[in-house]
Amino acid sequence: MFDFVDPETGARGFQTMLSMRDGTRLNTFVFRPADGERFPVILQRTPYGIAKQDGSANHDVSQGWLPSTAEPLRGSILRGWKKITSRGYAAVYQDTRGRFGSEGEDRVYADDASDGWDTLAWISEQDWTNGRVGMSGSSAGATTTYAAASTKHPSLRAFWAQVGGSSIYDDVVCEGQSIEMERLWLWVAKNIPGLSASHREAARTRAGLSDAEMDDAAARAMARYNRLDAARIENPPFTSSEEWMRLPLSDYPDFAVWQPFLNEIITHPAPDEFRAAHNFRASIEIPGFHVTSWYDIFLTSVIAAFTEIQMRVGNQRLWIGPNDHYFIYEEQFWPRDPYFDWFGHWLKNEGSPLLNEPPVYFSPRAWTDDPQEYAADDWKYTDGWPLSEAVKKRLYLGVNGTISNDVSDDGARTYTYNPRKPVATYGGRNMAIDPGPKDQRLAESHPDYGLVYRCDPLNTAMTIAGPVSVDLHVSSNCLDTDFVAKLIEEKEDGEAALLMDGVTRAMLRNGTDRVQHLKSGEIVKLTIFLGHIYHTLEVGSCLRVDVTSSNFPRRARNTNSGNLILAKDGDKDIRVAQNTVHHGSGLPNVVNFWVLPA
């Protein structure tokens, strides 16, 4: 039965093509400990390959993925089968549908709930399992974990999900009802080589191309990826790149040929059944360990999963570290590695200190400029998020560009937003372009940047600890536009460090499928959610809120056309907007946040 016995550990492995309910077969590796017959199981499903990522050994279980000794915590698959089997678990790896050694078409998480259920059902029927299964994964592997957990299969007892999306469209792809572009474009292109033979054939047939033409499209897609990636070093970055600035977004050359589902991803601008089907956290009812970082693209999605499931059923844990999406793979990110403590408790009835600790553990430093020397020795415990001792604070944006405790005088401030000349992205919760608290002075040099509001220099340090939002009263001469808000620490030397940013698409400002076009002369209220943070502003710094209408390519440009599906808009649909923020006693513009008592 076994295709492989590891000479070092004695672990036994075999490969199988596991049939899903529609007959599609998914490439699956099973590794069992050297001794014993029935085991708890840790399942990991990934689109990034369960063997060599060059595709040369897709079905060879002896080449099953393992982390490098230099980076033992890196990978979508966590800890690796050797460590898992040495702890007395069976390890199951699976290529997701349409990826590497699996059949079917890759539809980017659309099938991961049902495929997850079918895989769990198969595991539960095997004579080598004791009926207790856990799931884990990082990034895309975390999203597939949330997806499977949402199905409530009775064998799945606990999960571990780090830096992944629990409601991938509402939180990430369509955050604020605006398309999150940088990750989509670079991620889709970079992952074309991992598409399986069956996916390739389905895409080739749909496009009506020959094999040679598909190869040419793949080569062009990689060349486009390289040009997109290189645009970060231009001055200004991104906005002079033909690849980034191309319209329409739909049917993007070569990318959409190889990954036709890209068109589906970007054409659900408002909440609908498609997006709701990807809200995996809504139905999860088992213990979960959630991990993210303050500048992770998935920060809000991970925190939302923890908060909602903890409120509903309890037994959740949330750890938040510093820096970006990828820092989580470094050993120094972690105060300790609780992976096997977590699964040991829920799958093997072992004692664990985790169950006696407060559920939230976080770094009070949102960013470190020296990650190699970082030491996770200052993390803090708390019973929930935001912190119970934090106090909600409201400050008003003034017509004269101030931030204060007082409601503004009457008046208005107007700026121009031309989609042909967007403001470039500098930092933030990015995944594929440079993240972090980048200096916004370069962005601010744009001739039509937008509006800046700042408070007086702080006399005492101020710690922001929790979610942040901005309420605005606005109007525009266009049927639709975006409003982007940035929270910034402006330091004494002039550096404008970006703490966080958010966006709201005006015609979908209520967060529903109800379209409310802007009308000439009409003032409307909208709220921009910026995310979560723990950060201490220094004495002498100013808290700053910037309001603009583009942050490109973190967000795709709103053409201001008023068309619901912006992904289909071309250059002819572009309108130049005059966007206005209105001030006065009846029109309060407010930044809402949580602070620790001084």
pLDDT digits (tens, 9 = 90+) for 47-95: 999 997 777 889 999 999 999 999 999 999 999 999 999 999 999 999 9
pLDDT band with cut points at 50, 70 and 90 for residue 598: confident
279 bridge partner residues? 167
Structure tokens at 579: 């966007």
Write the pLDDT tens digit of every residue in 195-233: 999 999 999 999 999 999 999 999 999 999 999 999 999
Assess whether 441 and 549 both reside in one domain: yes
Q: What is the CA radius of gyration of the chain?
A: 24
- Tell me the one-letter amino acid at 85: T
DSSP annotation of 331: G
Which residue, of 274, 306, 329, is where some domain finishes? 274
| 25 and 128 within one domain | yes
Do 221 and 336 have their domain in common?
A: no
Query: Where is the domain boundary, 274, 307, 326?
Result: 274
Q: For residues 235 and 307, what is the distance between their CA atoms, to the nearest angstrom?
A: 41
| Neighbour count for residue 294 (Cβ, 10 Å) | 27
**pLDDT confidence tier of residue 1, bands split at 50, 70 and 90:** low
Task: In whole angstroms, give the CA distance from residue 258 to residue 251.
Answer: 11
HEC secondary structure over 563-597: CCCHHHCCHHHCCCEEEEEEECCCCCCEEEEEECC
Contact (CB, 8 A) for 48 and 58: no
| 261 and 304 together in one domain | no
Tell whether 123 and 266 lie within a shared domain.
no
Please state the domain count of the chain: 3
Do 73 and 190 belong to one domain?
Answer: no
Task: Indicate if 125 and 81 belong to the same structural domain.
Answer: yes
Residue found under tokens 């590891």: 6
Mean pLDDT, residues 3-21 taken together: 96
* Same domain flag for 302 and 411: no
- Claim to verify: residue 419 and residue 504 sit in the same structural domain: yes
Q: Which domain holds residue 543?
A: 391-595
216 and 290 co-located in one domain: no
Residue of higher predicted confidence among 512 and 537: 537
Last residue of a domain, one of 209, 239, 274: 274
Q: What is the mean pLDDT of the chain?
A: 96
The pLDDT value recorded for residue 518 is: 98
Rounded percentage of the chain residues whose pLDDT exceeds 70: 100
Q: Which residue is it, tokens 């939002």?
A: 469
Structure-token pair, residue 311: 């409120």
Cβ 536 vs Cβ 468: under 8 Å: no
Concatenating the DSSP letter of every residue in 190-223 gives HTGGGB-HHHHHHHHHHHT--HHHHHHHHHHHHH
Read off the CATH number of the domain in which 464 is found: 2.60.120.260
Q: Across the strands, what pairs with 6?
A: none
Task: Kindly report the CATH number assigned to the domain that includes residue 32.
Answer: 3.40.50.1820
| 429, 431, 432, 435: CA torsion to nearest 10 | 40
Backbone angles phi and psi of 433, in degrees to 5: -120, 170
Residues 323 and 452 in one domain: no
Pairing mode, if any, of strands 288-295 and 156-162? parallel
d(CA 75, CA 141): 9
Q: What percent of the chain has pLDDT over 90?
A: 97
Q: What is the pLDDT of residue 200?
A: 97
Same domain? For 441 and 495 the reply is: yes
